[in-house]
Structure 1
Amino acid sequence: MRIFKFGGASVKDADGVKNLVKVLTEVGHKNTLLVVSAMGKTTNAMEKIIDCYFNDKVGLKEAFQEVIEYHNGILLDLFKNDKHEVFSKTKTLFEEVKGFLAWNKSPKYSFVYDQVVGYGELVSTTILSAYLNEVGIKNSWLDVRDFIKTDNNYRDAVVNWEKTQEKVTSGIDVDKLYITQGFLGSDDNNFTTTLGREGSDYTAAIFAYCLNANSVTIWKDVPGVLNADPRYFEEAQLLNKISYREAIELAFYGASVIHPKTLQPLQRKEIPLLVKSFINPKGKGTTVGKGTTLEPKVPCYIMKKDQVLMRLSSLDFSFIVENSISELFKMLHDHKMKVDLIQNSAISFSVCVDNKFGQLQELLNLLKSRFNVVCHEGVSLYTIRHFDSDAISSLQNGHEILLEQRANETVQLVVK
């Protein structure tokens, strides 16, 4: 069986849904399970509904109406007959959300979030399944919550692999075409859970693992995985092949390749992951699998903007050793700083962090009571995997290098 994952950009409007049909027609759809995300920016819109529920009851109705009208517009573009059953099915799903928000008594944001946000996926797959049946591509719609079982750690649920394997093995016929939702699961009480960052890609990997699939294909609006973000680097190249390990390394340094948790179940069973373009489905794309580290073997550039570089030195020229370093990391952890690079000498310690939660000033006040602190805000962190001298020179031109760190395969530069 093959697993196909289509993200929100691929089904953002009626033309996107029609193009998905074109992709399936070109590459075939037998023995295939489709994992589909919410349409366009629906997840953001559902998050707005949740925010209004907690903080702006007056704006709740309007936020909800925007989501309904967006999907109704797509339905009217796809189905000539507005009495088609998909209209009432979609309406029922939205009524379920309203019902939940009316009777819910839980004050817990994460619980409410998981019960509401996933309706974006439930609606998108309901529309897509109905349209495929309408154009003659017979399929079965699955509620993913009946298959992927998790704990109740809402917004970042952990998969119960044993129960999930049992449900998938007994409930899926590998000879059929199925459509299901990404990102979602359910706990032992059958409350909806979500799988956290890159949840839809992870869903595809979970099904692939449980079904011993031939492959997973993630369909994107780019030709595959590139060696650099074309928004920031000219002449980005397509990577034909990447090993699992290399993909995990690139993700670790911040490349939006594939999240490591998606790769882990695939790696265990050596199931190849393909990244292909839904605009050009016959294009080669990128294969992530066992074997070749990188093909072609070219430098890979990763950039993180708006970072903070802090240089700390001891007030009395004493050594910065294990005790003080562990204390520093506790402070960074307590202030929710994501550490991207560290470098230390006998009496100094440099760290490049992402001030994602806006707690920098509070941290600096604490650090300045213990250390001499020099802080550079708004810097960029460049990482080059498989670097050569030309690659480094291209970044050094016109930039002030504040810190450089090299290993065998990787160089990192913090620049102003």
Structure 2
Amino acid sequence: MKVFKFGGASVKDAQAVKNLGTIVKHYGSNDTLIVVSAMGKTTNALEAVVNQYANGGQGLQAALQVVKQYHKQIILELFLSEAHPAMLQFETTYKALLQFLETNTNTNYDFSYDQIIHYGELFSTQIIGHFLNQIDLEVSWLDARNYIKTNANYRRALVDMQVTERLILPLAETGKLMVTQGFIASNAEGFTTTLGREGSDYTAAIFGACLQAESVTIWKDVPGVLNADPRYFEAPELLERMSYNEAIELAFYGASVMHPKTLQPLQQKAIPLHVKSFLNPDGVGTVVHTQAGIHPQVPCYIVKKNQMLIQLSSLDFSYIVEENISDIFRLLHHFKMKVDVIQNSAITFSVCVDDLYNTLQDVVAHLQQKFKVQYTTNVALYTVRHYNTQAIALIESNKTILLKQRSQDTLQIVTQ
């Protein structure tokens, strides 16, 4: 078995879907499971639906129409008919979304988010399933929620790998071409859960590990894993090979080319991960496997924007010790703050966090009960793996440095 994952950019319009079909025909029309994200920016569009729905906004119908018209246009361009089964299935699935909006009585925002947002993946995989069949690639459509089982932590659910593997493993014997959804799963009660933004890579890794696949390939709009984000750095270099450990380090620090959880199940089964360009399928790409280090050996730059730097000091000049730090982390965990950097001295403690759920003010209010608190919003966190003198100079140039931390292999700088 092989597992292919296609993200939103690779299925953003009719031409992109046709390109997917060409890749699948050439590289994996048998014994292949295809994991697909929502098309283009559909997840963002559905988030607008969620917000209008949760807040009773007057723009709900308009937000829904954006989603509906976008998909109908792609269907018409692919199948040239309003009466095609793909259109009829889309209309049926869209009506199920409307029914949820009309009948739901659960007021929990995260619950509603997952029950709405997953329709993006349902729409995309249903359309792609019809298209692959049209080009003579017989494909079986799978509902990922029947295979990936999680707890009830909506929007960032924890996968029960034991149950999930038991459900997925029989698929390895089918020998078929299959298509399923990234990002989505279900809990024991049968409600839809999601694995976190960009969780489709994780989905592909879960299926790959449970199927004991020969490889997992993530098809993206970049040549492979680059040593820097081309939005922020000029002339980034392609990393042709890297170890699981190196890839996990880069993912942990925020490299956008892969989900932080993606590598773990693959490493456990020693399954190679390929990152290739759907614009240039014959390109070298990047392979992540058991070899040591990275090739070529160059500094790797990661940038995380819109971070928050919280700086604490004791009110009475007493030491900030283990008990204090434990309380701080318990609070950050409670408010779902993602910690990226910490630094402490005898009477100060600094932490750079990602405020994923807009809970900064709640955190600050609680911290102020025990500490003097200063915080700076909209800071940037730069991480450099395998830094050298030139890399440090590049990052520090023309910036105000708020925090700097260096280990043998990794440099982290928070700037304003």
- Normalised to the residue count of structure 2, the TM-score between the two structures is 0.91
Q: Which residue of 2 aligns with 1:287?
A: 287
Per mean C-alpha deviation after superposition, the further-off stretch among 194-203 and 332-341 is 332-341
Q: By how many angstroms is 1:366 displaced? A: 6.4
Q: After superposition, where does 1:161-176 map in structure 2 within 5 Å? A: 161-171=161-171, 173-176=173-176
Q: Counterpart of 1:250?
A: 250
Tell me the CA shift for residue 374 of structure 1.
5.7
Whole-angstrom distance in 2 between the partners of 1:284 and 1:44? 32
CA distance 1:388–1:142, change in 2 (3 Å): same
Measured after TM superposition, the shift of residue 127 of structure 1 is 1.0
Tell me which amino acid in the other structure corresponds to 2:217: T
**In structure 1, C-alpha distance between the alignment counterparts of 2:344 and 2:77, rounded to whole Å:** 60
1:188 aligns with 2:185: no
Native 8 Å contact 1:250 1:257 kept in 2: no
Moved more, 271-280 or 255-264: 255-264
Q: Paired residue for 2:32?
A: 32
Task: Find the aligned partners of 2:125 and 2:281 in 1 and give their Cα distance.
Answer: 21
Q: Give the corresponding residue for 1:75.
A: 75
Q: 1:132 to 1:359 in 2, by over 3 A?
A: closer
Q: 1:393 and 1:113, CA in 2 relative to 1: closer, same or farther beyond 3 A?
A: closer
- Aligned with 1:158: secondary structure? coil
Deviates more, 1:98-107 or 1:355-364: 355-364
SS in 2 for 1:261: coil
Cα separation, 1, equivalents of 2:9 and 2:375: 39
Query: Aligned ranges for residues 212-227 of structure 1 at < 5 Å?
Result: 212-227=212-227
Aligned twin of 2:321:
321
Distance 1:119 1:172, change over 3 A: farther
Alignment of 1:106-255 (within 5 A): 106-171=106-171, 173-255=173-255
- Farther-moved stretch of structure 1 (1-10 vs 203-212): 203-212
Structure 1 Cα separation of the partners of residues 246 and 295 of structure 2: 11
What is the identity, as a one-letter code, of the residue corresponding to 2:15? Answer: D
**Cα-to-partner distance string for 1:30-73 (whole Å, 9 max, x where unaligned):** 21111111111112222222333332364333322222211111
Q: Which moved more, 1:115-124 or 1:187-196?
A: 187-196
CA contact (8 A) 2:140 2:179 kept: yes
**Are the counterparts in 2 of residues 314 and 371 from structure 1 also a CA contact under 8 Å?**
yes
Instruction: For residue 118 of structure 1, report the CA deviation from its aligned partner.
Output: 1.5
Shift of 1:14: 0.5
SS in 2 for 1:395: helix
1:181 Cα shift?
1.2
Give distance in 2, aligned partners of 1:352 and 1:34: 37
Q: In structure 2, do the counterparts of structure 1 residues 197 and 334 end up closer, same or farther at CA, with 3 Å as the change threshold? A: same
Cα distance 1:353–1:125, how it changes in 2: closer, same or farther (>3 A)? closer
Name the structure 2 match of 1:6: 6
Q: Distance in 2 between matches of 1:116 and 1:365?
A: 32
1:399 shift after superposition: 2.8
Between the aligned partners of 1:414 and 1:269, the Cα distance in structure 2 is 36
Distance (Å, rounded) in 1 between the aligned partners of 2:9 and 2:342: 36
Report if the CA contact (8 A) 2:199-2:259 is conserved: no
Q: 1:131 Cα deviation (Å)?
A: 1.2
Q: Distance in 1 between matches of 2:84 and 2:364?
A: 60
Q: CA deviation at 1:84?
A: 1.9
1:386 equivalenced with 2:386 (yes/no): yes
Q: Quick one: which amino acid aligns to residue 299 of structure 1?
A: P
Q: Is contact 1:27-1:282 (8 Å) kept?
A: no
Letter in 1 for 2:239: L
Correspondence 1:9-88 to 2 at 5 A: 9-56=9-56, 58-88=58-88
Distance in 2 between the 1:186 and 1:313 partners?
A: 43
Cα deviation 1:281-315 (Å, max 9, x = unaligned): 11111111112221111111112234344554445
Structure 1 vs Structure 2 CA RMSD: 2.5
How far the C-alpha of 1:117 sits from its partner, in A, is: 1.9
* Cα distance change of structure 1 residues 356 and 75 upon mapping to structure 2, 3 Å threshold: closer
Look up the match of 2:397: 397
Q: Is the 8 A contact 2:47 2:113 kept in 1?
A: yes
**What's the secondary structure of 1:106's corresponding residue?**
coil
Aligned residue for 1:381, secondary structure, equals strand
Greater Cα offset, 21-30 or 226-235: 21-30
The amino acid that maps onto 1:386 is: H
* 1:260 partnered with 2:274: no
Give the greater-gyration-radius structure (CA). Answer: 1
User: Contact between 1:314 and 1:347, CA under 8 Å: does it hold in 2?
Assistant: yes
Structure 2 residue identity aligned to 1:221: D
In the alignment, the residues of structure 1 paired with residue 375 and residue 105 of structure 2 have an alpha-carbon distance, to the nearest angstrom, of 46
- Cα distance per residue 1:330-374 (max 9 Å; x no partner): 555566544322222334333333455555566557666755666
What TM-score comes out, normalization by structure 1 length? 0.91
Determine what percentage of the aligned residue pairs are the same residue.
Answer: 54
Letter in 1 for 2:277: S
Q: Paired residue for 1:410?
A: 410
Q: In structure 2, what is the Cα distance between the partners aligned to 1:169 and 1:312? A: 49
Structure 1's 61 and 31: CA in aligned 2 closer, same or farther, altered over 3 A? Answer: same
Query: Offset at 1:215?
Result: 0.5
The aligned residue for residue 305 of structure 2 is 305
Q: Is the 8 A contact 1:9 1:221 kept in 2?
A: yes
For structure 2, which runs of at least 5 residues remain unmatched after alignment? none
| Cα distance in 2 for residues equivalent to 1:270 and 1:53 | 44
Counterpart CA distance in 1 for 2:113 and 2:31 is 33
Q: Deviations over 1:200-251 (max 9, x none)?
A: 1111111111211000101110111111111111121111112111111112
C-alpha distance 88-234 of structure 1, shift in aligned 2 (>3 A): same
Aligned ranges 1:337-352 → 2 under 5 Å: 337-352=337-352
